[in-house]
Amino acid sequence: MALVKVDQSISKPGWVSHFGKKPKDTHKLEDIPAPTIDYEKLKLLCGIEGLNGREDEKSSDEAHETFMTNYKDIFAKPPSKRIFHAQSKKSVEKFSSQMSITHNATGKKTDELKAARDKKNYPIDDITHDIRDYLPLLHKERKSEHPEAVRADNLNTLRKLLRKLPFERTASDNDKMFSIFKTFRFFNDNVPDNILKELCVVALFEQWKDTDFTVFGRNGLYMVLKGSVRPLTYPHLNTNDNIVDSRSPTPLLTEESKDILQPGDFFGTLDKIERKPGSRIFSVETQEPNCEFLKILSTDYTKVITQIDTRSNAEKKNLLLTCGRFQGWSDQTIVQVAKLIEWVSFPPNTILVSEGYKAPYIGFIKSGECHVLRQVEVMKGKSGHKEKKMKHVVMGRLTVSQSFGEISVLKDEPITCSIVTATNVSLGIIKPERIQELDDVTIQLFTQSNEPTFNSFSKDEIQDEYMNQELKQQWNEFKHSVVVDVINSKGIRPGYGKWAKY
């Protein structure tokens, strides 16, 4: 009998013809991945002294900490077949030695964790497996609203921000410092907001580690951030109400009259003071080690004011040059007029000037829009009972780089129109009393270069404009009423039923 070789690939089709289902995959034994658990290390872990099973008593804290510290080492990638047997014994011995070291240090670590829990030092820096350590992190931090607690929190924030150099602080850091500065009365009473914002950029951090050390406040303004100081002279702070006495030698305070300056108090001066040699004006003495201060130099304060004035004068000059009436003026005359301008802002629907009255100032529009109104006499009422009434008509608009009120202020005459703000408006104004600071030539040039605001309209033109606006308003009201009637006649109610917006 002959032997016939059968091709197994042909005799085993990919699909069973009777059932139409694919047979189950049968993996080879060598394809099954090797387990990723090192059972030798797991056996060592389970044999830790003090570690009990589920049915026995509770395990000791030291055994539990040792197990939780080393259990991750049992999950290891399987080594190659060639080096597995060589490395297995070596890795187990190394793991056993590490586990013994960890077991010896567990008692000390457990005591430290318990002490940290008792002191409530959050957030937790070390990884623990006690849920009590993490519950406070899930709750929102409650900040006290007591003024002293808020003040202390602001001072701590300032200390953190000021430790950065001025060029390292971001815009958000400077904004945070400005909001904190606004909580101190000295800054609110003596420094305008625009200057205070610039001072946040140049504020410095200063620290003195020794006690009984004299700090001279004649070079700048100091605020105590940490520690306490004792004034040596009176006054210790330069304000508008104090009379500066810079004589030498400076009279010192007696022990009974010396006050203690705490965190949040000020000493020194923002304005530069000319002092005599040997003067100790605005001096204090540290009472504690490691006193910390916020410092603003008088020279930086002077630079900030100079920069703001220069920037403001340039902005005022550019505003005048954008007005066509001042383009032919000399630069010296424009600078002279620009120094008289003050910045003001008004919300919408504010009456700036009333027709028939003297203008309160000369106005230059920096931003926004204004409506120019003229009065007109009309007949109002039903037939047979009509009465004369005064109405206002919008005759024009004033926008950026336009001005008003020059002739009214210079010649002391009533203005010929009313001006009302249509949007938020920023104005540069010159008050009548400041006009006297100009020389006669500039005043004459001012008068010749301007004309009354919207004075060219006749009564007939104002009447025609009023009629056109009234007819337009009536036509809009008629169209609206027709549309409403059509909608209601078909039972359509916008916002209800199938016409509701989803």
- How much is the pLDDT for 297? 92
Query: Both ends of the chain: CA-CA distance in Å?
Result: 87
pTM of the model: 0.57
- How much is the pLDDT for 173? 92
> By the 8 A CB rule, do 180 and 157 touch?
yes
CB-count exposure of residue 352 (10 Å: 0-12, 13-18, 19+):
buried
| DSSP character string of 429-474 | EE-HHHHTTS-HHHHHHHHHT---TT----HHHHHHHHHHHHHHHH
Q: How far apart are CA 208 and CA 448, in angstroms?
A: 64
- How much is the pLDDT for 49? 76
List the single range of 25-39, 169-183, 278-292, 464-478 with lowest mean pLDDT.
Answer: 25-39
Share of the chain above pLDDT 70, in %: 71
- How much is the pLDDT for 99? 54
The set of residues, in sequence order, having a beta carbon less than 8 Å from that of 301 and lying 6+ positions away, is 199, 220, 221, 270, 271
Q: How far apart are CA 226 and CA 322, in angstroms?
A: 52
- How much is the pLDDT for 27? 47
3-state secondary structure of 397: strand
- How much is the pLDDT for 295? 93
Mean pLDDT score across all residues of the chain: 77
- How much is the pLDDT for 81? 45
> pLDDT tens digit string along 334-378?
888 888 999 999 999 999 998 888 899 999 999 999 998 888 777
> pLDDT tens digit string along 255-282?
655 678 899 999 988 888 776 666 778 8
> pLDDT tens digit string along 307-339?
998 898 899 888 888 887 787 788 888 888 888
- How much is the pLDDT for 197? 93
- How much is the pLDDT for 9? 44
CA-derived radius of gyration, the chain:
43
- How much is the pLDDT for 497? 63
Q: Flag whether pLDDT at 29 surpasses 80.
A: no
- How much is the pLDDT for 22? 47
The pLDDT confidence band at residue 423, using thresholds 50, 70 and 90, is: very high
- How much is the pLDDT for 174? 93
Residue bearing the bigger pLDDT, 301 or 123: 301
- How much is the pLDDT for 303? 93
- How much is the pLDDT for 20? 46
Q: What is the mean pLDDT of residues 40-44?
A: 78
> By the 8 A CB rule, do 176 and 157 touch?
yes
Q: How far apart are CA 169 and CA 173, in angstroms?
A: 6
- How much is the pLDDT for 45? 77
Q: What is the mean pLDDT of residues 188-199?
A: 91
The pLDDT confidence band at residue 79, using thresholds 50, 70 and 90, is: low
- How much is the pLDDT for 258? 65
- How much is the pLDDT for 249? 58
- How much is the pLDDT for 130? 78
Q: What is the mean pLDDT of residues 105-118?
A: 50
The pLDDT confidence band at residue 417, using thresholds 50, 70 and 90, is: confident
> By the 8 A CB rule, do 270 and 238 touch?
yes
- How much is the pLDDT for 3? 42
- How much is the pLDDT for 56? 65
The pLDDT confidence band at residue 77, using thresholds 50, 70 and 90, is: low
- How much is the pLDDT for 348? 92
